Structure 1
Amino acid sequence: MIPVFDGHNDFLLRLMANPARRDDIWLTGDGRGHLDLPRMKAGGFAGGFFAIYIPSPEAGDGINYEALMDAPPYLLPLPDPIPLERAQAVAMTMAGHLFWMERTGALTICRSVAEIRAAMAAGQIAAVMHFEGAEMIDPDLDALHLWHAMGLRSLGPVWSRPTAFGNGVPFAYPSGPDTGAGLTEAGKRLIAECNTLKIMVDLSHLNENGFDDVARLSTAPLVATHSNAHAVTPSSRNLTDRQLAMIRDSGGMVGLNYATSFLSPDGRRRPFAGWDPVLRHLDHLLSVLGEDHLGLGSDFDGATLPADLADAEGLPRLLAALEAHGYGRDLIEKIAHRNWLALLERTWGA
């Protein structure tokens, strides 16, 4: 079985929703969601970026967002910013769950590529602590250094709502990513400090002006951990060919997102059967990025997924579909894990 190192998952969010049952959810599996230890082992999920994400309060506006995303065109309103104090409290809770997972002996929080390789070789899940949105970091960046000391090695300045550091794209179809202003002055300082600390910067939810700001300021490879091709599905969350070329030219990386609304050419959220949308995105991404700059970024436990890739146990079926489509073993191994490890070596060092 080819191991998979994954660019993005939201398992910690699911774990936080019911901490009283976390042994069942993580160690034995409760049959819900997309990830747990038994299904990771069965599917060859060897590790990846575990997101710490601050959920927005329930809107209470009576809008059925799921129905809207099944009836394009749509433009969903963005939630309000999250206060720093609330974000820090939630982030600490989610980090606590990740450290608890390490204490179970089945997972290792990795701070270097050497640690990732060692964990994978030992049959442990290799976890990288990642922030999906930087609401838990103050504009003076003091908290960034604290989190780095705790193991933070990857960070997206924004989820889709605005932060002190910049603006994300709304969930919109059809739409391009040019949706607002770029990085704030605090955001520019954040990118510089992430470069100094060798924290990978994730562009997945950032709007086009913010993307361009990072590209101009950063000394590290450009990375989008869970994004797809705008040329195939014109969602605001997907990357244009211009952005893909900039990522390629920087020595960067894109992880294919399994979310149906970013895969389906019509932008609909409903699950689909078969592999055609997945393969169309992979083919296009390969044509622009080249084979050394593409990986997987599932969005497990954070999105609606295709029917044939309903959870981590579906990963061997995905890799089999790539082989049937004509991808060779070497390319499949690059997409599954080798490109991510090489990218992290370029970003972090060995």
Structure 2
Amino acid sequence: MSAPVPVFDGHNDLVLKIAAAGAARDRLWLQGDGAGHLDLPRMLSHGFAGGFFAVYIPSPETADVAAYHTLMDNPPYDLPLPALIDHGTAQPVAVEMLGHLLWMERASEGRFRWCRSAAGIRAAMAEGVVAGVLHFEGAEPIGPDLDALHLFHAMGLRSLGPVWSRPTIFGHGVPFRFPSTGDTGPGLTDLGKALVRECNALRIMVDLSHMTEAGFWDVARLSDAPLVATHSNAHAVTPSSRNLSDRQLRAIGESGGMVGLNFATCFLRPDGRESPEMTLDPVMRHIEHLLRLAGEDCVGLGSDYDGATTPQDMGGVEGLPVLIQAMRDMGLGDALIDKIAHGNWLRLLERTWGG
């Protein structure tokens, strides 16, 4: 049997799952309990060569998660957003998450490595070591003076989304709404514009997934880096507020940026439902549309593993070879599949980070 095609992934939420596991984190990360999408043994077995690992700050208020899932499986829906979280509350949580990141590397005994450069990712992949990159999904841990941005950059932060979906002092995100465009409210604040400029100066990648359409265009006007949406799909296929318009996809392509295909069913299915009971046809439709609008050099994968419901035929990381085969079946050649699986991401990071 041939080795699986290496995949570099634009987004996952495994760190939050590890933080919640407590004493069971060893089993979750090192042995795999089968309940989640990712663990180290399955990554190594199924071609997960590396990716962005999100630090996300959960909202303090208790959400009725079951009710949210019920609503998202019965469109139309418009879920209320949690309140803004101040940096004084968020920073200790982020630091705790960083402790879990260091533990993941140490406990892996050389099988997983945190990387700070594209060259470091390529080296890890060549050695068969899973490459992790630190990403903040929402800039809540950073205060208005931006000093913490420099601190977290020194600690390895290389990718940052100014918002998840709830508002921050830096800007506004789209609600979970279907059907809807991404034009749901204001974009960047003045502090958000300063944050983008500082990220450019530090060569931290700015992630546009979750941003309102106004925020997307604010970043496009300000940033001197390629435009990147790490885990977003095509609005023309699935009219969710979280998906990107054709105009946005063209802008990403024109900037030499990237869009990572999100595996979440509610952003894949044309009916917007969260149910995993679906064929892979909508997945292929999204890939075709992203390739046509953004271009073959600007499309990758952004799974949202351990943060979303995925199609039944893909499941967790063991489904990556299924997705690769589906791309072959749709007529994509090996060279283009390699680009989508990892090549485009690595070239984008070389352009964004340098070296």
Alpha-carbon offset, residue 18 of structure 1: 1.3
Distance in 2 separating the partners of 1:230 and 1:272: 21
Distance in 1 separating the partners of 2:202 and 2:210: 22
CA deviation string 1:161-207 (max 9, x = no partner): 00010000000000000111110111000000000000000000000
CA deviation string 1:212-265 (max 9, x = no partner): 100000000000000000000000000000000111111100000000000000
TM-score (norm 1): 0.98
Aligned counterpart for 2:75 among listed residues 72, 77, 85: 72
- Within a 5 Å distance, the mapping from 1:214-293 to structure 2 comes to 214-293=219-298
Aligned counterpart for 1:44 among listed residues 17, 23, 47: 47
- Within a 5 Å distance, the mapping from 1:306-317 to structure 2 comes to 306-317=311-322
For 1:121, the aligned partner's letter is A
Q: Structure 1: where are the runs of 5+ without partners?
A: none
For 2:264, the aligned partner's letter is A
Distance in 2 separating the partners of 1:48 and 1:142: 26
For 1:284, the aligned partner's letter is H
Aligned counterpart for 1:185 among listed residues 180, 184, 190: 190
Alpha-carbon offset, residue 63 of structure 1: 7.9
Distance in 1 separating the partners of 2:180 and 2:22: 38
For 1:135, the aligned partner's letter is E
CA deviation string 1:40-80 (max 9, x = no partner): 11210000000000112344579811111111111100001
Alpha-carbon offset, residue 325 of structure 1: 0.9
- Within a 5 Å distance, the mapping from 1:103-252 to structure 2 comes to 103-104=106-107, 105-252=110-257
Tell me what 2:60 maps to: 57
Distance in 1 separating the partners of 2:244 and 2:133: 24
TM-score (norm 2): 0.97
Q: Structure 2: where are the runs of 5+ without partners?
A: none
Alpha-carbon offset, residue 331 of structure 1: 0.5
For 1:221, the aligned partner's letter is P
- Pick which of 218-227 and 272-281 moved more: 272-281
8 A contact 2:251–2:294 mirrored in 1: no
8 A contact 2:7–2:342 mirrored in 1: yes
Tell me what 1:324 maps to: 329
Tell me what 2:93 maps to: 90
CA deviation string 1:283-324 (max 9, x = no partner): 011110111000000000000000011100110011001001
What RMSD, in angstroms, separates the aligned Cα atoms of the two structures?
1.1
Distance in 1 separating the partners of 2:12 and 2:64: 28
For 1:44, the aligned partner's letter is G
For 1:218, the aligned partner's letter is S
For 1:15, the aligned partner's letter is I
CA deviation string 1:269-289 (max 9, x = no partner): 110232101001000111101
Change (3 A) 1:137 1:62: closer
Aligned counterpart for 1:334 among listed residues 324, 327, 339: 339
8 A contact 2:138–2:161 mirrored in 1: yes
Distance in 2 separating the partners of 1:206 and 1:27: 34
Distance in 2 separating the partners of 1:330 and 1:11: 29
| Secondary structure in structure 2 of the residue aligned to 1:131 | strand
Change (3 A) 1:16 1:316: same
Distance in 2 separating the partners of 1:295 and 1:151: 23
Tell me what 2:104 maps to: 101
Tell me what 1:21 maps to: 24
Tell me what 1:34 maps to: 37
Distance in 2 separating the partners of 1:92 and 1:74: 34
For 1:12, the aligned partner's letter is V
Distance in 2 separating the partners of 1:173 and 1:210: 19
Distance in 2 separating the partners of 1:19 and 1:141: 31
Which stretches of structure 1, 4 residues or longer, exceed 3 Å deviation after superposition?
A: 58-63
Distance in 1 separating the partners of 2:66 and 2:294: 38
For 1:26, the aligned partner's letter is W
Distance in 1 separating the partners of 2:64 and 2:134: 33
Distance in 2 separating the partners of 1:32 and 1:229: 29
- Pick which of 82-91 and 337-346 moved more: 82-91
Tell me what 1:302 maps to: 307
